[in-house]
Amino acid sequence: MGLLGMVLLEDAGPPGCKGFVRFCFFIVAVASLLSVSAVTNSPGGMKKELRLTGGENNCSGRVEVKIHERWGTVCRNGWSMNQVSVVCRQLGCPTYIQALGWANSSAGSGDIWMDKVSCTGNESALWDCKHEGWGKHNCTHEQDVGVTCSDGSDLEMRLVDSHGNRCLGRVEVKFQGKWGTVCDDNFSKDHATVICKQLGCGSAISFSGSAKFGAGSGPIWLDDLTCNGNESALWDCKYGAWGKHNCDHAEDVGVTCLEGADLSLRLVDGVSKCSGRLEVKFQEEWGTVCDDFWDTHDAAVVCKQLGCPTAVTAIGRVNASEGSGPIWLDDMSCKGDESALWECKHQEWGNHNCNHREDAGVTCSDGSDLELRLVGGGSRCAGTVEVEIQKLKGKICNRRWSLRNADVVCRQLGCGSALQTSSKIYSKSKATDMWLFPGTCSGNETSLWQCRNWQWGGLSCDHLEEAQVTCSGGT
C-alpha cells in the first residue's frame, strides 16, 4: 500500500516537484499519521504514567502524567474532589483525606497534557476521565494542579491560648507539616463538640469567631465545615477542600472546652446559699443568667449542682437585687438530668437580648422550710392562701388556679376537700408583696409542693387576684 501510494504520488505530483523529494516526504507522513492515530483512536494502547512530585511523599504534590516518554502537568481548570479521588486511588494512596491543592506545589515545566478534566470519581485512571484532549489547554504552569492524599495519621489539632491552656483557644490544624487555622464561617456548637471530644477535653462549653483568641498565621486550612457532633475528628466532617476558603485570619475560630474553662455557679442575695440571684463565673468574671424560657427543669439542675434540696424548686429571685456585669446565658433549655447548668442548651455565652431586670433567681427547698396557711377567712380552713418560704411570706396568684389546686390545699391542711375557690382584688398598695404562681395539680397530691411547675416571683401579679379557698372541714 505504501509503495503504490508513492508511485501515484510521483506521477500525480504537481509540476516542478521532484519525485524523489516528494517520495521521501510521503514515507515520513505515513509513519507519523499511523502514530497519531494510535493516540487518538486507541488511547488505552499508549503507555501512560501518573505521579505526584515535589511533595513531602509520593502521595502529595504536583500532578504529572507521562506520555510519549515525556512528563507533563495537568491544569486545574474544572478540578474537583472527584478528580482527586481518582488520582489518590490510582496511585494506591490513602483516600481518607483528600486535598484539591498542595500548599507547597511549585509550577512544573514542559508539556501541559490535560485540561478541563471531568471525572465521576469511579474511574480507575485519570485518563479515563473526560478532558480537552492530550496537549490541548489554555493554561500556564501557574495553574498546575496539586493533590494531597492522606489517611489522617499525619494530621494534628490543637487549641492555642496565651496562657497555655490546652483545652481552650484558637483552633489550629497541622496539615502537610504546616500549622494553620479554621475559619468561623458556619461554625456551630456541633463543631466545637467534635474538637473538644477529639482533644480529650470534655464537653464543648462555647466557641467564638472573629479571632477572639487572637489572629493566627499561615494557611487557613478549613472553611464551611459541616459537623453533626458525632464525628471522631474534625476532618471527618464535610468540607469543601483543604486550603480552600474565603476568609482571612480575622475570622479564625476559637473553642472553650469544659476541661479548660474556669466555671463556677452560685446563688447570691437570698436568705441562704440555696436561694437568690443566679450567677455564673465564666472567663474569670461573674455574670448573670437571663430568665427567658426559665423553668423548673433549669432550676432543678441548679439546685442539684449546688448540692441543695430539689424536692421543691421555686423560680424567681426571692427579693434578690438585680445583678451587674455580663449576662452570660440566655434561653436556657434543660431536661433536668444534666449535671451542670452549662450542659443544657442555651445561646452562645454572652449572647442575649435581656437586661438585668430579667436576671433569673432560684430557691431550692425540700419542703421543710415551707409553710402553708389560709388567713383572713375566720378559721384556719378558709381564707386567702398564704405561703412562707425561707421566712418570706407571699400570696398565691389567681392565674391558673383551679378547684383541683384548692383541693390539694385543703387536704394538706387536714381540712377535708375544697368547697369553693374564689379570689379578691389585690389592692395597689400590696404590689410589692411576693407572689407564688400556681403549678399544675392533678388533685391527688398530698402537698401543694408536689404539683408541677411552680414559680416563685419573677412575674408581676399587680392589681390581679389572690387565691382564696373554703374547705369542708375545720372551724
Mean per-residue pLDDT, 432-438:
62
Would you state the pLDDT for residue 263? 92
How would residue 41 be classed by pLDDT, with cut points 50, 70 and 90? very low
How would residue 35 be classed by pLDDT, with cut points 50, 70 and 90? very low
- DSSP state, 316? S
Retrieve residue 56's grid coordinates. 513531602
Q: What is the pLDDT of residues 194-234, one digit of tens each?
A: 999 999 998 888 888 899 999 999 999 999 999 999 998 99
Would you state the pLDDT for residue 459? 56
Average pLDDT in the chain: 80
Residues of the chain with CATH 3.10.250.10: 49-150, 179-260, 264-355, 370-471
Would you state the pLDDT for residue 47? 87
Q: What is the pLDDT of residues 67-92, one digit of tens each?
A: 989 999 999 888 888 898 899 999 99
How would residue 104 be classed by pLDDT, with cut points 50, 70 and 90? low
Q: What is the pLDDT of residues 356-401, one digit of tens each?
A: 988 888 888 777 778 899 998 889 999 999 988 777 778 888 877 8
Q: List, in order, residues 6 or more apart from 42 with CB less than 8 Å away.
A: none
Q: 3-state SS of the chain: helix, strand, coil percent to 5? A: 20, 30, 45
DSSP characters for 294-310?
A: --HHHHHHHHHHTT---
Class of domain 264-355 as given by CATH: alpha beta
Of 7-21, 411-425, 460-474, the one with minimum mean pLDDT is 7-21
Would you state the pLDDT for residue 61? 87
Would you state the pLDDT for residue 401? 84
How would residue 315 be classed by pLDDT, with cut points 50, 70 and 90? low
**Distance of CA 312 to CAs 14, 111, 350, 389, 450, Å?**
113, 80, 30, 11, 8
CATH number of 370-471: 3.10.250.10
pLDDT higher for 306 or 394? 306
Mean per-residue pLDDT, 436-451:
79
CATH number of 179-260: 3.10.250.10
Residue percentage of the chain with pLDDT more than 70:
80
Task: Say how far apart CA 313 and CA 307 lie, in whole Å.
Answer: 13
**Distance of CA 321 to CAs 186, 287, 316, 361, 422, Å?**
38, 13, 11, 10, 33
Query: Computed from CA positions of residues 275, 339, 438, 462, in that sequence, does the dihedral angle turn out positive or negative?
Result: positive
How would residue 102 be classed by pLDDT, with cut points 50, 70 and 90? low
Q: With 50 as the cut, is the pLDDT of residue 95 above it?
A: yes
Would you state the pLDDT for residue 320? 54
CB 288 within 8 A of CB 277: yes
How would residue 313 be classed by pLDDT, with cut points 50, 70 and 90? low
CB 257 within 8 A of CB 201: yes
Would you state the pLDDT for residue 460? 63
Task: Say how far apart CA 260 and CA 239 lie, in whole Å.
Answer: 27
CATH number of 49-150: 3.10.250.10
Retrieve residue 285's grid coordinates. 468574671
pLDDT higher for 108 or 105? 108
Would you state the pLDDT for residue 408? 93
Task: Say how far apart CA 194 and CA 163 lie, in whole Å.
Answer: 23
With H, G, I as helix, E, B as strand and everything else as coil, classify residue 67.
strand
Would you state the pLDDT for residue 397? 80
Q: How many CB atoms lie within 10 A of CB 450?
A: 17
Would you state the pLDDT for residue 410? 95
pTM over 0.75: no
CB 250 within 8 A of CB 182: no
Could you identify the residue written with the cell 512544573?
Answer: 108
pLDDT higher for 203 or 302? 302
Q: List, in order, residues 6 or more apart from 307 with CB less than 8 Å away.
A: none
